Structures are given as C-alpha cells and as structure tokens.
C-alpha cells in the first residue's frame, strides 16, 4: 500500500513561490486556486495527485475551461461560455427563487425559458448582431457545471478504486490520469464561483438604476480579475496563511430530492453575490486602485479572502468525491469475468 502523507503547503506551492508570483483570476489565478486546494487535502486523499508532475498538470488544467470559453468556434462558445457564471438577479426577474432551483440542468433551462417569456417586461429584446453565440438569453449555469463536474470526478474515483483492485498497471495509470484531468478542470469553475462578478448582472460596470454612482465603465471585470492583483503585488505567500484544511460536504439526501452538492453550490454563489455591491462601493471609495491610486488594504484583503475561499471549497469537493465514491460494481464484474477467462483450465489428468 502506498504511504499517504499530507503535502505541506510549502511543498505544493514551492514551484510558484517567487517574488514575481502574482495572483489573478485569469489563468495564473485559477492555477493558484487549484494549488491551494491541493494543499488543503488530508492524508487519506490518494497520493498520486501530489507527484510534482500531477501538481503541475492540475494547475495547468485550471485554465482549460477558459480556453474553451474563448474559442472562436461558436458551437463550443455557446455551450461553454454560460458555464462560467450565474447572474443571480435574473432569477427573481424571471419569477424564480434561487432556493428552489432544480438541480437538473435541462429542467432549469426549460423553466427559465418559460419564465423569461412570462416576464418579458424584465428582459429587453436581444440584438442578434450582438449575440452571435446565442448565449445572452441565459443567466449562466455555473452551479450546474460544478455539480456535474463533481459527479464526473466521483465516477472517476469509482473506476479507480476497482482498477486498483483488479486492473493492469496501465489501466490504473489511465484511471489516475482521468482523476487528474477532472480535478484540474473542475477547479476552474470553483475559482469562478469565488469571483463576485461571476455571480451578477453587474459583471462589468454597473447597469440600471445607480443612485450611489457606482463605476459604469467597461473593464471593471478585468480590473478585478487581474489588474488589481498585479498592482497590489499580491503574492501566494500572502494568501497562504488564510487557508484551512478541506472539509467534506454533506451528501445527506434532501427532502426535496435535489442534489445536495448543487444546493451547496447555489448557496455559496448567493453568498458571493452579496459581495458585489461592497466591491463597487470599495471602488467608489478609491480602495481598489483603479486609475492613478494605490490599492488599499481593504481591497487587497477582499481578493485574498476570495482566493483562499476558492481553494478551501475546491479541496472539500475533491475530498468528498474521493470519500463518497463507491467502487464501480459493473466494472468490477467485467474485470472479474476477464480474470476468470484468463485463468487456464485445469490440465486433464494423464493416465
Ligand atoms: Zn471561467
């Protein structure tokens, strides 16, 4: 049996510790959320994810979903772009309650499409010329994406547990590669969940009634994603002390039958959405460093807190997937049958 050990934070982060290392929710930032999540895992999590090549691969894959969302192929963009956000405010506008959203994606799609028609006054017509990928009619699918990603990872662990018992070395390696791939790509979306501007219609400059005079210019999203972090010089070491050990999520069945992971993700997004207006207020108070001013400690603290939060949540999801994955019984029966077929029949007794 492989020895398990808790990889220290320093060991996981060592390859990215440098004075020049800055955090952001662009590709480098997503890498770091994944690395933080790795550092939060307890000793009973499989050790192969701690190999240096696996750590680097998981960090690299944190950027993969953005490579899909920025693709020039409209079919891919149509499918993937809304996976990265949920504009919460569109739900009540459509007469939907975040507390009762269906955890099945296509049930939600049908419900939202119907609700949008029924509340047409809240949804101005979309200019087709500005909507080539046909995504503007959707509020985003981020909590569904994370829940489905969790399910994919859990099934990969279910297979791995059986291959470890009955598979060939090559099959075990392949099953581990699947786990690494799914952990890495899932991490991107969890990172998106902690960026308040991925939870709101106010995602790039304030729109609509604006009595306080929040910033309305485009580029605000990019400033929060990366500009502020670079200007503040936030380093991984600054955020590391905020990290805590991954905590498993409860998978207890719910009376309403909805997926408990989905409900936890929606609840989490609702909480991050509460930071949207404080974020714009910080900007109004000149705390976010936009323009010719320095980033104030309050602005810096908010970003550090969100990055640490992403790592903790992701670690908790990975841990829950590992611990809760049952061995794949179908795969097990196939591999046992294969083993029996390989066993040579007893040689006839010679007279
Ligand atoms: Zn994204």
**Pairwise CA distance, residues 123 & 129, whole Å:** 17
**How close is the Cα of 63 to the center of ligand 1, in Å?**
8
**How close is the Cα of 98 to the center of ligand 1, in Å?**
21
**How close is the Cα of 117 to the center of ligand 1, in Å?**
28
Instruction: Please say whether the dihedral angle defined by the alpha carbons of residues 243, 245, 250 and 251, taken in this order, is positive or negative.
Output: positive
**How close is the Cα of 84 to the center of ligand 1, in Å?**
5
Residue extents of the structural domains in the chain:
9-341
Please, what is the Cα angle at 197 between 191 and 198, to 5 degrees?
Answer: 50
pLDDT of 192 reads 95
| Cα→Cα distances 135→63, 89, 127, 173, 174, Å | 21, 17, 12, 38, 35
If one counts every other C-beta atom within 10 angstroms of the C-beta of residue 118, the result is: 11
**How close is the Cα of 304 to the center of ligand 1, in Å?**
18
**How close is the Cα of 121 to the center of ligand 1, in Å?**
30
Per-residue HEC secondary structure of the chain comes to CCCCCCCCHHHHHHHHCCCCCCCCCCHHHHHHHHHHHHHCCCCCCCHHHHCHHHHHHHHHHCCHHHHHHCCCCHHHHHHHHHHHCCCCCHHHHCCCCHHHCCCCHHHHHHHHHHHHHHCHHHCCCCCHHHCCCCCCCCCCCHHHHHHHHHHHHHHHHHHHHHHHHHCCHHHHHHHHHHHHHHHHHHHHHHHHHCCHHHCCCCECECCCCCCCCCCCCCCHHHHHHHHHHHHHCCCHHHHHHHCCCCCCCCCCCCCCCCCHHHHHHHHHHHHHHCCHHHHHHHHHCCCECCCCCCECHHHHHHHHHHHHHHHHHHHHHHHHHHHHCCCCHHHHHHHHHHHHHHCCCCCCCCC
**How close is the Cα of 189 to the center of ligand 1, in Å?**
6
**How close is the Cα of 111 to the center of ligand 1, in Å?**
24
**How close is the Cα of 337 to the center of ligand 1, in Å?**
43
**How close is the Cα of 312 to the center of ligand 1, in Å?**
18
Write down the residue that tokens 């991954």 correspond to. 246
Class of domain 9-341: mainly alpha
pLDDT of 239 reads 77
Asked if 142 and 85 count as a contact pair (C-beta separation under 8 A), the reply is yes
**Pairwise CA distance, residues 122 & 125, whole Å:** 10
**How close is the Cα of 281 to the center of ligand 1, in Å?**
24
**How close is the Cα of 181 to the center of ligand 1, in Å?**
16
**How close is the Cα of 20 to the center of ligand 1, in Å?**
24
**How close is the Cα of 219 to the center of ligand 1, in Å?**
16
**How close is the Cα of 66 to the center of ligand 1, in Å?**
5
Asked if 126 and 67 count as a contact pair (C-beta separation under 8 A), the reply is no
**How close is the Cα of 192 to the center of ligand 1, in Å?**
5
**How close is the Cα of 96 to the center of ligand 1, in Å?**
24
**How close is the Cα of 67 to the center of ligand 1, in Å?**
9
Q: Tell me the pLDDT of the chain (351 aa) as tens digits.
A: 333 333 344 444 443 333 233 333 666 678 888 999 999 999 999 999 999 999 999 999 999 999 999 889 999 999 999 999 999 999 999 999 999 999 999 999 999 999 999 999 999 899 999 999 999 999 999 999 999 999 999 999 999 999 999 999 999 999 999 999 999 999 999 999 999 999 999 999 999 999 999 999 999 998 888 888 788 887 777 777 888 899 999 999 999 999 999 999 999 999 999 999 999 999 999 999 998 999 999 999 998 899 889 999 999 999 999 999 999 999 999 999 999 998 776 555 555
Asked if 59 and 34 count as a contact pair (C-beta separation under 8 A), the reply is yes
**How close is the Cα of 93 to the center of ligand 1, in Å?**
24
Residue whose C-alpha is closest to residue 290's, from 238, 217, 234, 235: 217
**How close is the Cα of 37 to the center of ligand 1, in Å?**
17
**How close is the Cα of 64 to the center of ligand 1, in Å?**
9
The pTM of the whole model exceeds 0.85: yes
**How close is the Cα of 313 to the center of ligand 1, in Å?**
16
**How close is the Cα of 345 to the center of ligand 1, in Å?**
56
């Amino acid at each position: 049996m492989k020895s398990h050990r808790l990889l220290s934070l320093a060991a996981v982060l060592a390859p990215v510790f440098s004075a020049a290392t800055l955090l952001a929710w662009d590709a480098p930032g997503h890498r770091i959320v994944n690395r933080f999540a790795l550092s939060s895992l307890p000793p009973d999590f499989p050790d192969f994810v701690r190999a240096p090549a696996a750590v680097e691969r998981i960090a690299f894959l944190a950027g993969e979903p953005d490579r899909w969302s920025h693709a020039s192929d409209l079919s891919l963009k149509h499918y993937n772009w809304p996976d990265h956000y949920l504009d919460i405010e569109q739900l009540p506008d459509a007469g939907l309650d975040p507390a009762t959203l269906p955890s099945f994606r296509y049930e939600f799609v049908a419900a939202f499409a119907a609700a949008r028609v029924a509340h047409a006054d809240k949804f101005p017509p979309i200019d087709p010329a500005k909507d080539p990928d046909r995504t503007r009619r959707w509020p985003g699918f981020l909590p569904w994406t994370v829940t489905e990603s969790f399910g994919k990872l859990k099934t990969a662990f279910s297979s791995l547990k059986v291959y470890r018992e009955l598979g060939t070395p090559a099959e075990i390696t392949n099953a581990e590669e699947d786990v690494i791939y799914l952990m890495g790509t899932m991490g991107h979306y969890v990172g998106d969940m902690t960026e308040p501007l991925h939870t709101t219609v106010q995602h790039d400059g304030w729109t609509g009634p604006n009595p306080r005079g929040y910033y309305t210019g485009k580029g605000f999203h990019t400033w929060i994603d990366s500009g502020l972090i670079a200007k503040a010089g936030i380093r991984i070491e600054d955020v590391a002390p905020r990290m805590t050990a991954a905590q498993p999520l409860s998978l207890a069945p719910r009376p309403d039958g909805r997926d408990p992971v989905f409900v936890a993700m929606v609840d989490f997004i609702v909480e991050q959405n509460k930071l949207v207006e404080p974020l714009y207020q910080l900007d109004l108070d000149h705390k976010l460093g936009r323009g010719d001013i320095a980033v104030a400690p309050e602005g810096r603290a908010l970003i550090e807190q969100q990055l640490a939060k992403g790592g903790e949540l992701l670690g908790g999801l990975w841990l829950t997937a590992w611990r809760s994955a049952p061995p794949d019984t179908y795969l097990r029966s196939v591999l046992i049958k294969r083993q029996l077929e390989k066993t040579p029949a007893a040689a006839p007794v010679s007279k």
